[in-house]
Amino acid sequence: MDYLKQFSLEGKVALVTGAAYGIGYAIAKAYAKAGAKIAFNCRGEKHMSEAIEAYKKDGIDAKGYYCDVTKEDEVQKMVADIEKELGTVDILVNNAGIIKRIPMIEMSAEEFRQVVDIDLNAPFIVSKAVIPGMIKKGHGKIINICSMMSELGRETVSAYAAAKGGLKMLTRNICSEYGSANIQCNGIGPGYIATPQTAPLRTEGHPFNSFILSKTPANRWGTPEDLEGPAIFLASDASNFVNGHILYVDGGILAYIGKQP
């Protein structure tokens, strides 16, 4: 038996939300290389045209859709358009997300709600839109991009940690509710990855940079490419009996007390 075949995504349709750049882009690129047809969304014209250009340069014919994942009508239309143009969504990666780093007592309720809306409510909305098609097709894969903040807190990220903790439990609940329809729903919990989202933490001399290196056995920031293999695994037949699991891809941070100063 060709063991690599079980990792193939040939003939599959993958929707990766927020995949104009960053982690989503890397995952979508990896899925395309594994044989999947790619659909992605973002909100702005500039990011969309730059992304289409970048995918083309990587030899990928990705289809971009304008969609704010917090808006259920836009999501329902995007999924219907994907089904018309590419086919039923076989693989969904709920990747779109934001963070606001504000001390909790200085954060407005509106700012808290905005983070939870994008990082938790949106994965519910998009999953709800694709699950009926997956049930009809007899299989589906949903991968939620969680975070180390699904397990740990830190100063200034209360909304983000609450949302990502909730996303861990939404992952387990989709597993529980739709596992019998042969839908596997798992999470990926990236560690600290070098993307635009963490750029403010990686500026020259920023104390957070040396802090993270001291907490990471691999002694480096992760790259979006570090997530490609785990994402392919969870989207492929190789993980058909893995369900409700959060796979941490963090260079060992969660296992490590930190380097002695």
Residues in contact with ligand NAP by CB under 6 A are 17-18, 20-24, 41-44, 47, 68-70, 95-98, 118, 145, 147, 190, 192-193, 195-198
Helix pair angle (122-137, 158-178), 10° resolution: 20
Confirm if 220 and 192 have CB atoms less than 8 A apart.
Answer: no
User: What is the DSSP track for 106-174?
Assistant: GS-HHHHHHHHIIIIIHHHHHHHHHHHHHHHHT-EEEEEE--GGGT---TT-HHHHHHHHHHHHHHHHH
Single-letter code of the amino acid located at 253: I
Annotated active-site residue in 25, 55, 160, 178: 160
Where does residue 205 fall: left (phi above 0), alpha (psi -120 to 50 degrees), or beta otherwise?
left
Nearer of residues 123 and 190 to ligand GCO, judged by Cβ:
190
- Does position 70 interact with ligand GCO (CB under 6 A)? The reply is no
Of the candidate spans 33-41, 124-132, 191-199, 226-234, the one that interacts with ligand GCO by CB under 6 A turns out to be 191-199
DSSP 216: -
Min dist CB 86 to ligand GCO, Å, is 30
Residue 160 appears among annotated catalytic residues = yes
How many Å apart are CA 14 and CA 154, to the nearest integer?
A: 33
Binding partner of residue 41 among ligand NAP, ligand GCO, none, CB cut-off 5 to 8 Å per kind = ligand NAP
Q: Choose, by CB under 6 A, the member of 133, 166, 187, 190 that binds ligand GCO.
A: 190
Nearer of residues 13 and 69 to ligand NAP, judged by Cβ:
69
Pairing of strands 246-249, 91-94: unpaired
Of the candidate spans 3-11, 148-156, 225-233, 239-247, the one that interacts with ligand GCO by CB under 6 A turns out to be 148-156
Binding mask 92-111 for ligand GCO (x = CB under 6 A): -------x-x----------
Confirm if 2 and 177 have CB atoms less than 8 A apart.
Answer: no
> So which residues are the catalytic ones?
160
Q: Which residues bind ligand GCO (CB under 6 A)?
A: 99, 101, 147-149, 154, 157, 160, 190-192, 197-198, 201
